Structures are given as C-alpha cells and as structure tokens.
Amino acid sequence: MRDNDRDLDTLIESALRAEPMLPTPPALHERVMRRLDVQAMMDRERARFRASMAMMCVAAVAIILSGVLFVAFTNLRHVADYGAPGAKGRLDYIINNLSWYYTGYTGAYSLGLSLLLALGTLLLIIVPLRERMRRH
C-alpha cells in the first residue's frame, strides 16, 4: 500500500471509532447465506454441465468411430447389394422393373417436364389475375 492509502485508512478509522456500532439487520445473515448457497449451486451446476458436455462429445465420437469401423470391416454396402439374394423380396422386384421401364423410355421425362412447365405457366397467369380481380 502507498502512504496516502495508509493515511486515508487511519483517517477513516479515527473518524469511525467514535461512532456507535449499529446492529445488522435481522435477515442479513439469512440473505448472505442464501446468496452463498446459490453461488455454490451455480458452481456445481457449471461443473455438471461441463462434464455432461464432455461425455456427450466422447459418446458422439465413439458412435461415429464405431459406425465407420463397422462399415469398414463388414463391407456393408456389398452385403446389402449382393450378400443376400432375394432378401429384399417383392420390393426389389418392383424397384428393378420400374427402373428398367422408366430408364428405357425417355418420353416420360419430357412429358413430366412439360406438365411442370404448363403448371408454372398457369400459376404465373392465375396469381396476378386473382389479385387484379380482388382489387376491382
């Protein structure tokens, strides 16, 4: 401390020495203890939150790593495609037939795109027309 601070402290002490000590408010101790309890609970909760977030990160990394290792060691895509013939059953049959049908006929693409273009054109005409009809 500097000398000026010491002089100020002694000046304050000498001025307050003559003053009588006032009693503290009755609820002061209770309020101080409550604030200390709240601060302790906040510190505990922060520590719990940090621990739970760390455990979540560890769990997420473990799940991702186990998934990568599972796919790497089992060659899951090959097993799904060729490992069990007919395992998909009727769904596999339908998907294959529809894919052969629609990939062989290119007119379906142009027909679908033409219908989308016609729908867009109708919307461009109907929306402004409806707004104009509401105004009049």
Give the domain extent around 55: 28-83
Whether pTM exceeds 0.75? no
57 is a domain residue: yes
58 is a domain residue: yes
CA distances from residue 28 to 25, 35, 38, 70, 93 in whole angstroms, order as listed: 5, 11, 15, 62, 80
Last residue of a domain, one of 38, 64, 83: 83
78 is a domain residue: yes
**Tens of pLDDT, residue by residue, the chain (136 residues):** 566 677 888 888 888 888 888 888 888 889 999 999 999 999 999 999 999 999 999 999 999 999 888 877 777 777 666 666 666 677 777 787 777 776 666 666 777 788 899 998 888 888 888 887 887 6
| One domain, residues 50 and 73 | yes
- The answer to whether the beta carbons of residues 66 and 60 sit under 8 Å apart is no
| One domain, residues 96 and 79 | no
Helix or strand (DSSP H, E) at 8: helix 3-17
- The answer to whether the beta carbons of residues 86 and 92 sit under 8 Å apart is yes
| One domain, residues 43 and 74 | yes
122 is a domain residue: yes
39 is a domain residue: yes
Structure tokens that stand for 105 in this block: 């006929």
